[in-house]
Copies of this chain bind each other. A is one copy, B any other.
Amino acid sequence: MAKSARLSGFPERLPAERVIEKKVIDILEHTFALHGFSALNHRAVEPISQLAKDGEIDKEIFAVSRLHSEGAERSPLGLHFDLTVPLARYIADNANELSFPFKAARVQPVWRGERPQQGRYREFIQADIDVIADAELPGHFEVEIPLAVADAFARLAPLGVPGVKIVVNDRRLLEGFARGIGLENIQAVLRCLDKYDKIGPEEVAKLLATEAGATEEQQRLCLELAAIESYSPDFAEEVRALGVEHPLLDAGLDSLTTMLRAAHDRAPGVIVAQLKIARGLDYYTGAVYETQLIGYEELGSVASGGRYDSLATVGKKTYPGVGMSIGVSRLMAFILDPESGISATRGTPSAVVVAVTDEEGRAEADAVATALRARDIACEVSPSAAKFGKQIRYAERREIPFVWFTGGESGHEVKDIRSGEQTPADPQTWEPPEADLRPRVYKA
């Protein structure tokens, strides 16, 4: 029937790789639940009109249509390219059924028609958390979101995932600063600052002149602001020392200061203000976030987001929101690189293979398997009544640690095929060591 058909940019995992990916997803979902986010699952498609907004992303949208449709579709569909657009539409669909502020978590694939490259895919998994409010979104949620993400990475650390640095900034701070020094084309200023890491301060200065009409003094002030980076809430003094005044600058400084103060208590050394972070053309209106894996900054951001003041609208009502998206597939690119040293003990859930002496004895082996499963021990019955050596090699090839020999007159025995030790065992009471019960993810 089917033949091989590999597709670039659509990663699939081998069984042991999927054990790791599933573990990562489980930890993220569990952390989001501990922080009170309700798990949702969005449909894969949206009307193209919801997705395409004449932005950069439009050319990456995958359109979806019936292969043999008669004539044009009434409302053409596309695959979602992030989990923010579907959430916004979900809120608009279900506003009357939800309680606000509403905390939503989703871990799902998204699709983008990008050119596939290291850490970039056409189908990839994102893990998003968002808080959406009805009219007013209190500022403390801008603090809670990156702290929940910091907690998620802290819970991934035992697998061998490196620590993270969550860099934060505030759009109001940048806009207030730009206006305070007399620059009016805010979008141009943000675009220039966004290139800071790529082209360096001198080129940014030139761009600020040509794109935003900045004088030398304005360029100098922008670059001094962009160079500020701090784990301490005291960074505000450095900004104040630049002598710029604007109400939006005050609002942004207040919010960032509150965030760093809370971060200092709850996740010390994780959240850092970096005033050059602008997040390109996304329509953020307050906090913005990016996240680097420490020691692997070249991977790019593994968790990004920010605050939108108008995520969804229902009639005249608007719903502000703040959220972050963890790039699970990008994280997996790091984890599955052999250099990470992260592996799974096995790709099958089975802890035990129950050997079959002859096909007539299969029912006895099945009964042992049923007894083990009733006590939550994953197992399988040998596919054939081959010689025991062959049945043991079946387990070995799958890194299944135990082989069970059914009783007959001498009683049941179980063999740890790593040590070779074979001991009497009762299917009603025997248990494998905790470390062998399920596939485990570990760092060598």
Contacts and interface: CB of A to CB of B under 8 A. Distances in A.
A65 interface: yes
Contact of A22 (B39, B60, B373): B39
Given A10-B43, A92-B4, A383-B101, A58 B64 contact: no
A45 B123 contact: yes
B44 A109 contact: yes
Contact of A18 (B38, B69, B88): B38
Contacts of A42: 12
Contacts of A69: 113
A265 B363 contact: yes
Contacts of A120: none
A198 interface: no
- Among A89, A91, A123, A377, find the residue whose CB has the most chain B CB atoms closer than 10 A: A89
Interface residues of A, number: 109
* CB-CB nearest 9 A-B residue pairs: A36-B380, A2-B88, A33-B349, A15-B38, A36-B350, A10-B43, A4-B92, A61-B67, A66-B113
A14 B378 CA distance: 33
A149 interface: no
Given A34-B376, A262-B363, A266-B367, 15 more contacts: A1-B308, A2-B91, A2-B312, A3-B50, A4-B89, A5-B89, A12-B93, A44-B44, A44-B123, A63-B64, A69-B113, A99-B398, A103-B348, A138-B384, A265-B366
A264 B316 CA distance: 63
A377 B362 CA distance: 44
20 contacts: A1-B85, A1-B312, A2-B89, A3-B92, A3-B313, A7-B43, A7-B77, A15-B40, A22-B39, A32-B349, A35-B378, A44-B123, A61-B66, A61-B68, A62-B65, A63-B65, A65-B65, A66-B113, A67-B78, A265-B367
A273 interface: no
Contact of A311 (B2, B93, B141, B262): B2
A20 to B, nearest CB: 11
Given A12-B41, A109-B44, A312-B1, A366 B18 contact: no
Contact of A50 (B5, B32, B41): B5
Contacts of A4: 89, 92-93, 314
Interface in A23-75: 32-50, 52, 58-69, 75
Contact of A5 (B36, B38, B47, B63): B47
B33 A378 contact: yes
A18 B43 contact: no
Contacts of A11: 43
A170 interface: no
Nearest to A78: B67
Nearest to A133: B383
B58 A366 contact: no
B36 A379 contact: yes
